[in-house]
Every structure is written in C-alpha cells, then in structure tokens.
Structure 1
Amino acid sequence: MNTLTSVAELRQAIALARSAGKRIGFVPTMGNLHAGHISLIKTALQRADYIVASIFVNPLQFGPQEDLDNYPRTLSADQQQLQEAGCDLLFTPTVAEMYPQGQQQQTLVSVPQVSEGLCGASRPGHFVGVATIVCKLFNMVQPDVAVFGQKDFQQLAVIRSMVRDLNIPVQIVGAPTVRAADGLALSSRNGYLSAEQRAIAPVVYQCLQSIAEALRAGAKDYEQLRQQAQEVLVGAGLRPDYLEIREALSLKPANEDSYTQDLVILVAAFLGSTRLIDNLLVEAAQP
C-alpha cells in the first residue's frame, strides 16, 4: 500500500490505476480506525478494483469548543489495518496541503435543508466543513464510488445531496453501522469512555430499538415515543442532545402522514463529556 501526502502524487498514482482499467473506490476517514472503518474498505472492495483511503483530521468541521487537538492520531496502526484490509493507496495530507490559502480564504460548500437541525444545530458550521472537505477530496481522487457509514446518517444525507446538486460523478454507498456485541455503535470517540460509562452506553441503541419496535407495531404518537426514550436516557445518566424521528429520505420531522414512508430515529447524547450518536432506520410497513 502506498502512502502519499501531496495532491500531485495522489493524482499521478490514480491516473496510473485508471489507465490500467481500474475502477476507483474511495473511503475518506479521520483516522483512529476501528472495525467500522475497515468494513467500509471491504464494502468498497466489492464495488471497485483500486481502493483509496484518506486520513485527514479536518479542522474546518470542528467547533471552537470541540476536541480537534485531542482527536486521536494513530497513523502507524491505521496503515497496518488498511494494508491488511486490501487498501491500495492511503492519502494523508497536511492542513497546509488541503488549505494552501488558509482556512479563512477557503471556498466553502453549504448544503441546505438536510444539514439543518440535529447535529447541524448542535454543531454550527460542522456540515459546511464536512461538505467542503469531501467535495475537495472527490475532486482530488475522482472516484467511481465512495463509501460512508450509515452511523453518521445526517452526514451521509448531506453528501448525497451535495453530489446530486453539484453533479459530481461518483456513486455514494452507505454501509451499515458496525456495532459491538452489546449494540453500541463503533466510534473513535468510544475510546474516551471510562469502564463505567462504557457499561452504560448501550442504552442508546436499546432506546432506538424500543422506538423502532413501537413504530413497526403501528405507533404514530412520535412525540410520546421520543419523550419516553429521553426519560430512559436521562435515567441512565446520559444528557440527550437530541432524539428525533424523521423521514429517512428528506430528514424532515415525521408527522401524521409519515407512517407511509421509511423513517429514521436519530439520537445524540452526552455520557460525561463524550458525545455519542446513533440512528436506526425503520422501513415503512408494506400495504
């Protein structure tokens, strides 16, 4: 596996692969890789011949009070995992390589509607940073297919909308959330949890499952379901940021007519200082 740091080297390597008739798959990450990330590589391998991954801790998507400086950077371990998974090229640019004119002079990409509310409300500017860096990476790599995890459901919706609206010729694939045996969604931030907090954390997924079961049984009082689940989270020692039931396609809040559509239950909650996010898709009942 090649590890490259400059855009010029990246483009040269990909041009060689494409000239050999390779279909290019791409998995962008911020590093500190775990089994969830590796599942994205495996998904890409099912759809492409030459797999590119990137590791870049993007300062543009971190707020002033967030953990940019403390975000784990584990390049050597990440390289080993990627190589073992079958990745062909790893792109690890510096901040100066990605933002040569500085972040203040960077052209920004803003995706309306799906970026509003949820994490967009809790982390102002976050999805502008995400959309901007992913758009830049797509222009650098020019992949045929790119794979993102469904755990970051709103992020996936933002990227899909950006690709559609800007006519970017890349197929976006959402890969299922990878979970620990107790249901906790794998995340780089799980490493921040103490042993006691880690034992509590699975209640997040349990709440999602409880709401999903009620929806499948025909429940339509979304607000009551939401309030009941929030009470469970608070009782377990978590501080909910949001817990909402939305239409999966548009991310609009579910209403009395939404039972005919696929729904998604989305949650973000703090356990100590660690912010956990998760979601669960509920397919519409067949008539």
Structure 2
Amino acid sequence: MEVFRNRKDLSNYIERQREMGKKIGFAPTMGALHKGHLSLYEAAHKENDLVISSIFVNPTQFNNQKDLETYPRNVEKDISMLEQTGWVDAVYIPEVADIYPNGIESKEYNFGGLETEMEGKHRPGHFNGVGTVVEELFRQVKPDNAYFGEKDFQQLLIIKKLTENLSLPIKIHGVPIYREANGLAMSSRNERLSISQKEAAKVIHETLVKVNDWFRVLTIPEINQRVKDIFENQKGMVLEYFEIANEKTLKETDFFYKDQNYRAFIVVFVGEVRLIDNMHLD
C-alpha cells in the first residue's frame, strides 16, 4: 500500500493511474479507523480497480475547539489497519497546507436547505467545513466513486448535493451503518467511552428500534415524548435532539404521509462524548 503525505506525490500517482485507465474508489476519513470505516473500503474494492483512503482531521468542521483537540488520532495504527485489509491501494495523509493553501477557512455553500436542518442547527458552519474539505479532496484524488457511511446520513445527502452543484463526475455511495455487538453505531468517538459507558450507550440503538415499531401505531408527538422519557431516566446521558424527518429533504415532520420515506435521527451525549445515530423507518 502506498502512503502519500503531500499533494504533489499524490497528484503524480493519480495521474499515472488515470493514464492506465484505472477506475478509482475513494473514502475520506478523519482517522481513528474502525470496522465501520473498513466496510467502506470493502464496498469500494468490489467496484473499482483502485481504492484510495485519506486521513485528515479537518479543523473547519469542528465548531467546538475542545472536540477538535480531543478527537482521537493514531495515524500509524490506521495505516496498519488499512494495509491488513488488502482492499486499499493508497492512503493520502495531507498536511493542512495541502488542503488549505490560503489559510484555514471554509467556503460558503448552498445545499438547498439540507444544511440548515438537525446538525446544521446545532453545529453552525459544520457543513461548510465538510463541503470545503470534501470538494478539495475530490479535486485532488479525482475518484470515479466515493463512499460514505449512513451513520452520518445528513452528511451523505450534503455530499451528494455538493457533487450535483459542482457537476463533479463522481458517484456517491452510501454504506450501511456498522454496529458494535450491542447495537451501538461504530464511531471514532466510541474510543473515548469507558467500558460501562459503551455498554449503557446501547440504549440509543434500542430506542431507534422501538421508534420503528411505534412508527406504525403512534403519532409523532407520542413517539417524541416516549423518546424523551427514555433518556430522562438514563444516568450520565443527555438527549440533545431526536427528530423524525423526510429522507429527501431532512425536514422534521409531524405527520406520516404514505408516499414519503422517513428516518429517525438521534444525538445523545454520553458523558462528554457526543454520539449520533439514525434509522430508516419501515
């Protein structure tokens, strides 16, 4: 597996692969890799001639400086994990100047309102940061296909909108959420949980499963109240928000229409660790 630590070396490599007609699959990450990330590369390996990873903790998508400082980092361990899969041909680990040559600043994007829902409300500027780094990585890696986990479902839709707005010839693929044995969605932030916290946090997924059952028989206000009641009784946890939203527009709904698809979104603080999850409602 090739390891590139600057833009120039990556560019030369991409140019050679393109000349050979290789179809390129790409999944960008912020490191602290886990099996959820690896599932992206497994999917990419099946559909491309060449698979590229990137590891870059993007400063512009953190609106909380403490969250940026405490984000887990272990690049050498990440490289080893990628090598062991046999699915990844190259990893790009850029310096900040490779992504932000003119200083660390986000571009302004219009994602058709997707950016103002849920995470957009609670993390101002977050999706401008995501859009900025993903656009730059896309322009450098030049992939045919790019893979993102459905755990960050709002981000997935934002990136699809980004490629559409910029007319980038890249197909965006969503990969199902990879879960711990107890149902907890795998996340780099899980590394900051204690063993007891990780076990207790399974209630997040358990709640979504209940919501999927309630979805058939209860009104949305009734469901919202039941979710609120569950987390009021969880020691060491705080529910930041729970919403049932239209899967295309991400707008919160107060009624179920038969011709629409819906997804439940939840964000919970377990101690100081912010965890997100979601589930399509059948």
TM-score by length of 2: 0.95
Q: Distance in 2 between matches of 1:108 and 1:99?
A: 15
2:138 counterpart of 1:138: yes
Q: Partner letter of residue 234 of structure 1?
A: E
Equivalent in the alignment of 2:252 = 253
Q: Distance in 2 between matches of 1:47 and 1:230?
A: 42
Q: Partner letter of residue 264 of structure 1?
A: R
1:120-269 to 2 correspondence within 5 Å? 120-215=120-215, 218-219=216-217, 221-237=219-235, 238-269=237-268
Q: Is there any run of 5+ residues in structure 1 with no aligned partner, and where?
A: none
Query: How far did 1:10 drift?
Result: 1.1
Equivalent in the alignment of 2:88 = 87
Instruction: Determine helix, strand or coil for the equivalent of 1:244.
Output: strand
Instruction: Determine helix, strand or coil for the equivalent of 2:230.
Output: helix
Query: How far did 1:91 drift?
Result: 0.5
User: Which 4+ runs in 1 deviate beyond 3 A?
Assistant: 106-110
Equivalent in the alignment of 1:282 = 281
Of residues 163-172 and 110-119 in structure 1, the stretch that sits farther from structure 2 once superposed is 110-119
Q: Distance in 1 between matches of 2:98 and 2:22?
A: 26
**Kept after mapping to 2: 8 A contact 1:179/1:186:** yes
TM-score by length of 1: 0.93
Q: Distance in 2 between matches of 1:56 and 1:195?
A: 27
Distance change (3 Å), C-alpha of 1:236 and 1:259? farther
Distance change (3 Å), C-alpha of 1:190 and 1:257? closer
Distance change (3 Å), C-alpha of 1:222 and 1:90? same
**Kept after mapping to 2: 8 A contact 1:111/1:131:** no
Identity %, equivalent residues: 37
Q: Distance in 2 between matches of 1:158 and 1:80?
A: 30
Instruction: Determine helix, strand or coil for the equivalent of 2:252.
Output: coil
Instruction: Determine helix, strand or coil for the equivalent of 1:178.
Output: coil
Query: How far did 1:257 drift?
Result: 4.7
Distance change (3 Å), C-alpha of 1:232 and 1:107? closer
Instruction: Determine helix, strand or coil for the equivalent of 1:260.
Output: coil
Q: Distance in 2 between matches of 1:115 and 1:20?
A: 38
CA deviation string 1:146-176 (max 9, x = no partner): 0000000111111111111221110000000
Equivalent in the alignment of 1:119 = 119
Query: How far did 1:137 drift?
Result: 0.6
Q: Is there any run of 5+ residues in structure 2 with no aligned partner, and where?
A: none
Distance change (3 Å), C-alpha of 1:202 and 1:257? closer
Corresponding pairs, count:
280
Q: Distance in 2 between matches of 1:127 and 1:66?
A: 18
**Kept after mapping to 1: 8 A contact 2:53/2:91:** yes
Distance change (3 Å), C-alpha of 1:191 and 1:138? same
Q: Distance in 2 between matches of 1:199 and 1:102?
A: 41
Equivalent in the alignment of 1:96 = 97
Query: How far did 1:110 drift?
Result: 4.3
RMSD: 1.4
Query: How far did 1:196 drift?
Result: 2.2
